[in-house]
Amino acid sequence: MTNAFTPSAGPGAFQTLSALVLGSSSPRRRELLGSLGLEFEVCPSNAAEPPPEPGEAPEAYARRMARMKTLDVASLYPTATVLGADTIVVLPGHPDAIVLGKPADADDALRMLSLLSGRAHQVITGCCLCLPGQPEPVCFAVTTEVVMRASTRQELAAYIATGEPADKAGAYAIQGLGAFLVERVVGSYTNVVGLPVTEVSDILASYGIIFPRRS
């Protein structure tokens, strides 16, 4: 199912110069892209999300997932620019949970949050842009370091009971109720939310998809 999206919080800094499709069901990505003032359609990808391949670097995995999702949607929009993304949480040096995706259930969410508690981890968002007439999509990844406070098991259980972690990579939402879990962020905040807005706007502008809005 597709739907058009028109930003409702003011005109924003940019305008869309050609057809743009966001290949994601994430309301957070939709809001972040809309914050630029862009008009676009939303078409979630139905591509499967396989686990990382043996020896595959986390950034390479995030880019591969973003590419897979973008190409899946681009097949439906051959004349439009399609933007896809995939966000993962990585706990460096931990052999049992290198890449944390969305939790399978409440117990899995507690496992993930317990691993992250009191430690630094990386949030990596792979992004991919499929442009009409271009033989290959443009893919990149942005990494942000997040340092979590040491939380008690009771605090984590209470947070999980709110239901917020259910569809979040790493089982928390920095922009939501899970903000209390985070001690500090080093790098792009919007990347942790799900879309590195600065990098995405730069690449969309470099290909002439968006342009600063005229006053």
* Catalytically active residues, by annotation: 86
In 91-209, the DSSP E strands lie at 99-100, 120-130, 138-148, 182-186
Q: Match 């966001």 to its residue by tokens.
A: 22
Q: Please check whether residue 74 is in contact with residue 19, taking contact to mean a CB–CB distance below 8 angstroms.
A: no
Tell me the torsion sign for CA atoms 10, 13, 17, 18.
negative
Q: Using DSSP bridges, classify how beta strands 81-90 and 20-22 pair: parallel, antiparallel or unpaired.
A: parallel
Burial of 171 (0-12, 13-18, 19+ CB in 10 A): buried
Q: Which stretches of 83-152 are DSSP H helices?
A: 106-116
C-alpha 127/C-alpha 109 separation (Å) is 25
